[in-house]
């Protein structure tokens, strides 16, 4: 790693000429965060074990953030298996990851703001705040402090995945824009989720919530909930109740590949909606083939998975009617006819998407670079597909796609949030800028760890020293003696049988995953040039 600070060659990091950290200690703090330990707890443990009083713990935390801000990270946010443009993605919201800030404190966008934000300018400003903590007498008096605002608040999308440095953040339209009639019927899901959280609360807490939001607080728990349901239809009341339950900010949304690598993260200022995910997708360079929705929303790959698939498809198509992002059939797998719905219910129909296995040739116009397909679907996660009441959503079920049944690990999103939730106890206490900076850092180092483990496994299995990457950022294997370069393995498979490497030692063919017999039914190499007939060796 390279450090842009004067003492790094001596193994030291100078924070403010008073607090000087060893680089080894900085790396230890980084590892502590990866194992869900708040740095304050690390400092307390050090004090107890050494019986030495450390400097102010908050200053030490800022010293670590200062170190990370001055460390040269690429923040590529991409998977070595799926590359920069994954064909299949999963999306969800970490609703409990919030920072406490009243909605009224969020600055309104400047006049003429169109939703475009320069992602590099924003994150450089956040990094600059982390650096200048060393020179400011206090965080409140830091003139480089970054406060949440609608016109200068950006997500993070990897540099090779995003369309350009200018990305979308149209959260202010959640407040200042009326919904289209076609969209109104699709957004009740968000209100229902909020009411479900109220249902879980004890009656005393519900009564207190009614008092704080100006709703009549007399009667039974069900009476209170019914009144809240009537009031929650207005945006102002929705925001009030949301803030009381989850905090002022709206959590943070992610788009991931099925390998568990995060590609995009968006820190919401207000309660979530399909708009948040579409802002991310419209900022991607290539539309995703398959969007797989886990609990709340969708993505810009060929295939996106999200449990509010219908609302996402409706919102996306309304925002860009001249070039519909979700086609055909509004992102459904089949035309929503009564016959197709009946067959889908009875599990007597399937929809093959062969380009998920092998690129479509010739590719469609504006096709995805990996799949070659210009079709974009939105489907439901298996565990949440029964939540919808619309029969047309039977045509969004994953079991209709034979290329995905039993092979897609949709639980990676839940597992990721389960890990990140263990950090909420300290992240939610941080200032907005410090929180988003540290979350991006934690996710980045987690991505790096996953990629390194995957590459090391392949190197060890094949006895290779180096692995190169193709133009789409996918790991490839260069075999000696000018043998061809092969893509590492397919991105969306979960069973160990499909993650094995198949390798012909005689003609140096190596490949992975579902194409393991390479057009050979008997498990022998069918290389068109060598035709050696050797059996494959599983590594």
Mean pLDDT computed over every residue of the chain: 78
pLDDT at 77: 97
- CA pair distance 83, 161, nearest whole angstrom: 9
pLDDT: which is higher, 423 or 187: 423
Write the pLDDT tens digit of every residue in 321-363: 888 889 899 999 999 999 999 999 998 999 998 888 888 899 9
DSSP code, position 162: B
- Confidence class for position 200, pLDDT limits 50, 70, 90: confident
pLDDT: which is higher, 499 or 381: 381
Q: Is the pLDDT of residue 440 over 70?
A: yes
- Contacting residues for 286 by C-beta, under 8 A, at least 6 apart: 85, 300, 301, 368, 369
pLDDT at 139: 74
Residue with tokens 């390279």: 2
Pure H helices in 326-468: 338-345, 412-421, 424-427, 432-462
Give one DSSP letter per residue of 285-336, joined into a string. Answer: SS--EEEEESSS---SSEEEE-TTHHHHHHHHHHH-GGG-SS-SGGG-SS--
Cα–Cα distance list, 454 to 58, 80, 325, 457 (Å): 36, 8, 32, 5
3-state secondary structure 474-498: CEEEECCCCCCEEECCCCCCCCHHH
Q: Which two tokens stand for residue 490?
A: 């397919």
pLDDT: which is higher, 104 or 216: 216
Cα–Cα distance list, 431 to 42, 157, 425, 493 (Å): 20, 22, 13, 39
- CA pair distance 187, 122, nearest whole angstrom: 30
Q: Is the pLDDT of residue 201 over 90?
A: no
In three-state secondary structure terms, 472 is coil
First-residue to last-residue Cα distance in the chain = 32
Domain ranges of the chain: 8-69, 88-416, 468-538
In three-state secondary structure terms, 535 is strand
Q: Are 128 and 122 in contact (CB under 8 A)?
A: no
% of the chain residues with pLDDT over 70 = 73
pLDDT at 17: 84
pLDDT at 68: 96
pLDDT at 146: 93
Q: Are 333 and 377 in contact (CB under 8 A)?
A: yes
- CA pair distance 523, 537, nearest whole angstrom: 9
| Closest by Cα among 310, 139, 312, 273 to 194 | 273
- Contacting residues for 176 by C-beta, under 8 A, at least 6 apart: none
- Contacting residues for 111 by C-beta, under 8 A, at least 6 apart: none
pLDDT at 537: 43
pLDDT: which is higher, 369 or 231: 369
- CA pair distance 452, 226, nearest whole angstrom: 52
- What helix, strand, coil percent values describe the chain, rounded to 5? 40, 15, 45
Which pTM value belongs to this model? 0.78
Q: Which of 152-156, 188-192, 292-296 has the lowest mean pLDDT?
A: 292-296
pLDDT at 232: 67
pLDDT: which is higher, 484 or 436: 436
Q: Is the pLDDT of residue 484 over 60?
A: no
- CA pair distance 343, 356, nearest whole angstrom: 23
């Amino acid at each position: 790693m390279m450090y842009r600070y004067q003492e790094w060659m001596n193994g030291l990091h100078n924070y403010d000429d008073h607090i000087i950290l060893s680089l080894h200690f900085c790396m230890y703090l980084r590892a502590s965060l990866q194992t869900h330990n708040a740095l304050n707890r690390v400092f307390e443990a050090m004090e107890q074990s050494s019986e030495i009083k450390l400097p102010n713990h908050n200053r030490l935390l800022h010293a670590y953030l200062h170190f990370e801000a001055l460390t040269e990270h690429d923040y590529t946010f991409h998977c070595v298996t799926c590359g920069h443009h994954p064909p299949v993605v999963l999306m969800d919201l970490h609703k409990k990851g919030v920072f406490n800030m009243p909605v009224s404190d969020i600055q309104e966008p400047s006049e003429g703001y169109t939703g475009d934000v320069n992602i590099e300018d924003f994150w450089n400003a956040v990094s600059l705040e982390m650096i200048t903590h060393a020179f400011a007498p206090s965080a409140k008096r830091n003139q480089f402090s970054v406060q949440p605002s609608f016109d200068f608040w950006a997500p993070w999308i990897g540099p090779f995945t995003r369309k350009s440095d200018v990305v979308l953040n149209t959260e202010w339209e959640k407040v200042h824009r009326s919904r289209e009639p076609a969209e109104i019927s699709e957004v009740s899901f968000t209100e229902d989720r909020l009411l479900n959280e109220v249902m879980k609360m004890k009656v005393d807490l519900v009564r207190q919530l009614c008092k704080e939001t100006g709703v009549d607080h007399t009667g039974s728990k069900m009476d209170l909930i019914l009144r809240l349901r009537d009031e929650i239809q207005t945006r102002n009341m929705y925001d009030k109740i949301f803030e009381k339950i989850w905090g002022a900010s709206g959590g943070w949304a992610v788009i991931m590949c099925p390998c568990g690598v995060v590609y995009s993260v968006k820190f919401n200022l207000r309660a979530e909606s399909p708009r948040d995910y579409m802002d991310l997708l419209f900022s991607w360079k290539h539309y995703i083939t398959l969007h797989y929705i886990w609990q709340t929303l969708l993505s810009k790959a060929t295939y996106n998975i999200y449990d509010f698939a219908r609302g996402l498809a409706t919102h996306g198509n309304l925002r860009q009617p001249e070039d519909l992002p979700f086609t055909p059939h509004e992102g459904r797998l089949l035309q929503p006819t009564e016959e197709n719905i009946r067959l889908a219910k009875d599990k007597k129909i399937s929809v093959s998407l062969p380009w998920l296995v092998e690129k479509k040739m010739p590719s469609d116009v504006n096709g995805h670079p990996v799949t070659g397909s210009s079709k974009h679907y939105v489907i439901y996660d298996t565990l949440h597909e029964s939540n919808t009441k619309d029969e047309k959503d039977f045509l969004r079920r994953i079991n209709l796609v034979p290329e995905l049944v039993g092979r897609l690990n949709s639980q990676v999103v839940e597992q990721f949030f389960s890990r990140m939730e263990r950090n909420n106890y300290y992240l939610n206490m941080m200032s907005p800028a410090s929180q988003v900076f540290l979350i991006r850092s934690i996710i980045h180092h987690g991505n790096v760890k996953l990629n390194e483990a995957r590459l090391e496994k392949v190197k060890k299995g094949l006895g290779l020293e180096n692995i190169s990457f193709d133009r789409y950022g996918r790991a490839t294997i260069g075999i000696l003696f000018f043998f061809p370069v092969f893509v590492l393995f397919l991105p969306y498979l979960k069973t160990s049988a499909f993650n094995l490497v198949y390798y012909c030692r005689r003609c140096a063919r190596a490949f992975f995953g579902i194409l393991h017999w390479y057009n050979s039914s008997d498990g022998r190499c069918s290389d068109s040039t060598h035709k050696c007939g050797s059996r494959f060796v599983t590594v």
